[in-house]
Structure 1
């Protein structure tokens, strides 16, 4: 089971924390996502193979339009929101507690 869990792309450190039902739900979701990704890749490959004018790669993959400063500010805001929720739930630990 562990090998399948990791092969499905799920984090190994979460394996023992899951119940068998949660394991099945996570594994099924990971397999569905992998299947969907393969179908999108196959479709894109087929379409591009037929295209007379191949679009620029940037137009296909979409670049992050944020500046580094904007991305950093967004990350900091997300981390502040997370810390606030974790504090309200009593889940914030000191560095010493993390080490043990």
Structure 2
């Protein structure tokens, strides 16, 4: 069993003719912090949305806490919390 809490391999997302994310791979171990840096339009938000189940993955795989983001989205959502930098609320998020 891996000690990685987030594992991403070859993540890709296209919007029409634009590769928003092209083959991104990374791992985050337990207790570690990951920072995503890049210019506007680099795919940072798209990458976060894919790993947090808010946006489908076109190709590649991602696991959070050992659960597959694409096939076990409910289990992933029970493990994570997500807060954006803006005060706006994402329409895909629900409160209980």
Name the TM-score, length of structure 1 as normaliser. Answer: 0.22
Larger proportion of helix? 1
Q: Which has the higher contact order (CA 8 A, sep 6+)?
A: 2
Name the TM-score, length of structure 2 as normaliser. Answer: 0.23
